[in-house]
Amino acid sequence: MAKPTSPIFFFLLVILSSTLLSVKPNTTIIETTCKTTSYYALCVSALKSDPRSPTADTKGLAAIMVGVGVKNATATATYITGNLTSAANDTVLKKVLKDCSEKYTLAADSLRLTIQDLDDEAYDYAYMHVLAAEDYPNVCRNIFRRAKGLVYPAEIRRREVSLRRICGVVSGILDRLAE
Amino acid sequence: MAASVDPLVVGRVIGDVLDMFIPTANMSVYFGPKHITNGCEIKPSAAVNPPRVIISGNSNELYTLVMTDPDAPSPSEPNMREWVHWIVVDIPGGTNPSKGKEILQYMEPRPPVGIHRYIFVLFRQNSPVGMMVQQPPSRANFSTRMFAGHLDLGLPVATVYFNAQKEPASRRR
């Protein structure tokens, strides 16, 4: 009786124990932090691709995410300025692009202030600076919409949404820090 | 006359943001069905979109509306006072902000800490100002007094304010 069933029993025991051993003991800080934000996937992928993340605390993760925002906003400002040359003789478009680029630069500046606020653990200041950064892309969109004869470019819209989401993630992380 | 600005004095709207004035116009502000009365509490989630604002006056008069928060980032430490939420100019009397020129688009209240006052201030203009007025470069450290001074708007003709604080996480967007 014992002899024919024991290999099966042993086999089942091996499978069961290997399943138990492969269960992760904890979810990481990145995952728990990102769960409180509105854009979990964006949050996780942005943080996991930064080498400082595994050893960062929540405040550190916030700072990393803000840094992602600074890069994103700066890149958009540069992209928009790069389009100025192709605007050629269209003075209305040139003015709009110049104003828009400035807004994204201001967004980056605001996010840099946020990093300082995080260092100072002044989370309510950080929150307001992120709100400002999140608002500047809206201003650019409105500038386009108010200008006669201009269409709001899809690529700028894509970047607007991208920065807004990054700022949304930062706000979510700040909510955790402020609690 | 003094009685009708008393809540503004008690709420320190007069003092922190405005100087004493005599209301000479009517302004009604609604978030959804809720009519704003001085010091009433509004949930940020109810103020995501700009309110309905109805102003009195004749159509040949032009008005400026400013919405501002003197309690940024927190009422105990308002070092970003004022945080300006909305500026609309050249609103014809008897109409609403959608008929004016929006200088700074509406940003909903998102108080990080404490109870913030959100103040609507209405001015009567002497002349159209749309072409002269620039969008402030930053929403922080705005001065309604200085803004009115630059545009020669004089004292306010109507003001109303509400209070808002951060909602618990489950109620937010």
The residue extents of the domains of chain B are: 5-40+50-165
The pLDDT of residue A84 is 86
| CA A76/CA B142 separation, integer angstroms | 27
pTM, full prediction:
0.86
> What is B5-40+50-165's CATH topology?
Phosphatidylethanolamine-binding Protein (3.90.280)
The pLDDT of residue B4 is 65
* ipTM reported for the complex, 2 dp: 0.84
Average pLDDT over residues B89-93: 98
Average pLDDT over residues A140-152: 91
CATH number at residue A108: 1.20.140.40
Residues of A in contact with B107 (CB under 8 A): 131, 135
Residues of A in contact with B112 (CB under 8 A): 123-124, 127-128, 174, 178
Grade residue A14 by pLDDT with cuts at 50, 70 and 90.
low
Taking an 8 Å cut-off on Cβ atoms, the answer to whether A106 and B138 are in contact is yes
The pLDDT of residue A172 is 94
The pLDDT of residue B86 is 98
B23-79, pLDDT tens digit by residue? 999 999 999 999 999 999 999 999 999 999 999 999 999 999 999 999 999 999 999
B105-138, pLDDT tens digit by residue? 999 999 999 999 999 999 999 999 998 898 898 8
CB nearest to A135's CB, from B80, B107, B173:
B107
* Total number of domains constituting chain A: 1
Flag whether A2 is in a domain: no
CB nearest to A127's CB, from B112, B137, B138:
B112
Taking an 8 Å cut-off on Cβ atoms, the answer to whether A142 and B105 are in contact is yes
Taking an 8 Å cut-off on Cβ atoms, the answer to whether B72 and A175 are in contact is no
pLDDT > 60? residue B96: yes
